[in-house]
Structure 1
C-alpha cells in the first residue's frame, strides 16, 4: 500500500545519483505516490516520417512534449524521459489539468505545423498499480547543472501500450486553443558525426515475467561492454559540438516560435539571432554572463544519451569491436529468454535542446541517432 503524497517537491527531494551504472540496480529507485499522474505521448507513423527524412522533426515534436510540461509547471522539477518519437513524464495531482492542457496544445501544434499526429494520454499511478505494474523513479545527475529521471517497474511502458491500443487517451476534438509554451526548445547544433565508427542506437527491454534482478544483470553486462569504447561511447565530442551558420534546424525552430507571425518572417528573425550566436562561438567572445567556450564544454556532460526507461536505451559512438561485444551480450541474453532488443547503426547523432538560460549550466540536450535512432531500434525488438 503506497501513501498518497501530493507535494510537488516529492521528486525534487530525491537524491541525485552521479554514477549511471548504479541505476542498473532496482534498489536505486523509489515508488512514485499513488495519486501522481503519468503522461505519455507518441507520434503516429513515426517510421513513415523517418522514411520521409523527417527524423529531426520527429525528435523536435518528442522534445516539445517535455518542453511544454516543464513550462506549464513553471520549470519545477518533474520526472520525464525522452524517447525519440515520444516522451513520458509524471506530475503531482494538482498539476494534472495544466499537464493535460499542455499535452493537447502540443498535439494541435504538431498537427498544424508539421502534419504529424500525436497520441497523448494520462493515467494515475494508482491505476497503473491496479493493473499489476509499478512505476519507480531515480534522478541521474550526469553533471552539476542537470539531472534526468530514470523509470523502472514497467508502468510507463504499460501506459504507452494502453494508449497505442486506444484504451486510454485524451479527447481530441481538433478544436482550437492556446499554443503550447515551448520557450527554450531549440535544435541549433550540427549533427554529430561518428568518431569511432558508427552511432549505435540500442533499445533493450525485459521479457514478460523476467525479474528485475535478471534484467539488471544483463544491463550491467551491456554497460561494461560499452565501456570499451572511447569515453564510454559518449557521442558528443569532449570539446563540444559544432555550430554552423545557418543552422540546419532553423526552419524547425521557426515552427516552434513563430506564433501568429508568418513563418518566413520568423525565419528572418532567427537568422539574425543565429548569426550573432555563430559570431560569438566563432570569436569565442563573451556576452554578459554568456561564455561560448564554457557553454560548449557543458553540452557533453549535460547530454542525455543513455537512460533507463522500463528498459535500457543508449546512443553510442562505437567502434566495430565494441559493437560486436555489445551484440554478443544482447544475443546471449535474448536466447536465454531474458530480454528483447533492437539495434540501429547510422553515421551521425543529432541533438534537440532545452535551454532555460544560456548563461547558466542548466541547458539540457537530448541525443538520438540521426537516421531513425531509437524509433528504428525499437521497431526491431525481437520477440
Structure 2
C-alpha cells in the first residue's frame, strides 16, 4: 500500500451501524503493514482494584488514550479502552510521536500514583511475522461518536509479549508529562437498575471454527440486545453528578501540569461546583446545554466492544444473566471460547471531553468493583 493510502486507511473505513455485524470476521479490514500498534496496561492492577483503587486504575487506562488523542491532534485513529490499559494504532508518520506519548504516560503514572504502566509498540508487519493478524472496524455508537474494534489476535499477542518484556516503549525521563487535556472522571457511579452490572470478557479459543464463534457471539448479542437500552448502564437522561466529585483528585493529577496539586484541586473545586449549578438547574450557558450534554453522554458510551474478543459492561436482570451464563457454558464446553464474568452493583465512567459544546466526547465504561480486570482474571484462573 502506498504511503498516502496507508495514512488514509482508517478514515476510509465504513461506519458500522449494527453492533452484531462486528461478530463476523468479514466486518474487519486488515491494517496496513506499516502502521504501529501500541498497548499499555497496569502492572499489579488486580491488587490495586482489591485495595479500592478502581477509579485510579480506570483513569490511568484512559490516560493512555487521552495522551495519544492530544499528541496526534485532529487525527482519527483506532483505540480501545480495556479497564486497566488500552490499545491503539497509528500510521507510520505518527509512530515516534506515539512512542513519546506512551513513554510520557508511563512516567506520569509512576510519578503521580507510584504505578508501573507497562507499554509496548510494534508494527503490524512485525505482528504478522509471528502469524497473527491485526484487522479493524469502526462502530458508530451514536451520531457524535464512533469506536474502533480489533480482530485477528494480533493485539492480544502484542499484549502478551508486552508482559514478557518485549517491544517495550521506553519510559520518558523524569519530569516528562503527557498532555491529558480533556481527561476527567466526575460522574457519580451508576447503580444497577435491573439487577447487577455484568462485566464480561469473551475470548475465542485458538483452534475454534471462526464461523461457529461468530454464530455464538451473535446469539449472545441477541440476548443482550433484549435488555432495556441494550444493557447500556447509563440512563438515557445521562449519569448523575454530585459535588465534590469522587474523581476530583484524579483529574487534578491528570491536568495540573506544572502547578502544585493543591492549586489545581482548588481550581477544580470551583469549576465542578459551577458545573453542579448548571446540571441541577438545567440552565444553559452560551452554547452549553447541560441537558443535551447529559443525553449525548449516555449515547456515546463504549459499554460494549470487540478487542480480539467481546467485552461488555451491561445492566442485566437475573433471568438474562442466567441465559447469558448458560449460552457461554455450552460454548465453553464445546471448546469454542473462554470467558470471565464479574458481577457488581454499579458502573463507573471515565471521560475524554475535548469540548463541552461539541458532541464528539467519548466515555469509557467499566464495572465499579473490578470490571474487565476482574473478569479477565477469572479467565486466567480457568473458571467463570
In which range does the TM-score fall when normalised by the shorter chain? Answer: over 0.9
Preserved contact between residue 190 and residue 350 of structure 1 (Cα < 8 Å): yes
Q: Indicate the residue corresponding to 2:332 in structure 1.
A: 334
Alignment match, 1:274: 272
How far apart are the structure 1 equivalents of 2:335 and 2:2? 36
Q: What's the TM-score, normalizing by structure 2?
A: 0.97
Unaligned runs of 5+ in 1: none
Query: Deviation digits for residues 37-86 of structure 1, max 9, x if unmatched?
Result: 00000100000100110011000000000000011101310000000001
Taking structure 1 as the reference length, what is the TM-score of the superposition?
A: 0.97
For structure 2, which runs of at least 5 residues remain unmatched after alignment? Answer: none
Of 203, 213, 216, which aligns to 1:215?
213
Cα RMSD between the aligned structures? 1.1
> Which whole-Å deviations, capped at 9, do the CAs of 1:126-178 have from their partners, x for residues lacking one?
01111001010000011111110000000100000011111221234x63253
Matched residue, 1:203: 201
Counterpart contact for 1:105–1:179, Cα < 8 Å: yes
Secondary structure class of the residue paired with 1:244: coil
1:120 corresponds in structure 2 to 119
2:323 corresponds, among 305, 322, 325, to: 325
Question: CA–CA distance in 1 between the matches of 2:107 and 2:248?
Answer: 21
* Greater CA drift, 356-365 or 177-186: 177-186
The equivalent residue for 2:286 is 288
Equivalence map 1:1-383=2 (5 Å): 3=1, 5=3, 7-172=6-171, 175-381=173-379, 382=382
Provide Cα deviations, 1:282-328, integer angstroms capped at 9, x if missing partner: 11111111100100011111000000000000001000000000000
The SS at the match of 2:215 is helix
- Write the distance in 2 (CA, Å) between the matches of 1:331 and 1:337: 10
Q: Show CA shifts across 1:251-277 (max 9, x none).
A: 110101112211111111100011111
> What is the aligned residue count?
380
* Partner-residue secondary structure (3-state), 1:247: coil
Checking the alignment, whether the CA contact within 8 Å between 1:200 and 1:315 is kept in structure 2 is: yes
Look up the SS of the partner of 1:357 in the other structure: coil
